[in-house]
A and B are shown apart, each in its own frame.
Chain A
Amino acid sequence: MHLTDDQLNEYLDNESSERAQIEAHLASCDECAARLSALQTLFAEIESLPELELTHDIAARLITARSLSVKLPPSLTLTVTLQAISALIAILIAAPYASGLLTHYSPDLSVSSWMNIMIGLQSNFVMWFQSFQTFRLPEIPTEVLTLPKELTPEMIAIGVFSIFFVWVTGNWWLLRKRPNSPV
Chain B
Amino acid sequence: MTVSTDRDLIVRARRGERDAFGELVTRYQTGVFNVCYRLLHERGEAEDLAQETFMRAYDRLHTFDLEREFGPWIRRVAANLCLNHLESQKVTAPLDEERDADESPRPEKQVEVQERSEQIRKALLSLPLHYRVIVELRHYQDLSYDEIATELNIPLSDVKSHLFRARKLLAEKLHAPD
Contacts and interface: CB of A to CB of B under 8 A. Distances in A.
B65 A179 contact: yes
Interface residues of A, number: 44
Which size class do B's interface residues fall under?
Answer: 35 or more
A48 B120 contact: yes
Contact of B29 (A5, A10, A59, A73): A59
Q: Is the interface of B mostly helix, strand, loop or mixed?
A: helix
B121 to A, nearest CB: 7
Contacts of A71: 59
Interface string A39-66: 1001101111111111111111111010
B121 A68 contact: no
A59 B57 contact: no
B40 interface: no
A63 B51 CA distance: 11
A49 B121 contact: yes
Given A15-B144, A47-B139, A59-B26, A183 B56 contact: yes
B174 A62 contact: no
A46 B117 CA distance: 9
Interface of A: 5-6, 9-10, 13, 15, 38-39, 42-43, 45-63, 65, 67-68, 70-73, 76, 177-183
Given A5-B168, A9-B163, A182-B76, 11 more contacts: A6-B160, A10-B160, A42-B167, A45-B116, A49-B38, A49-B121, A51-B34, A52-B102, A63-B21, A183-B80, A183-B81
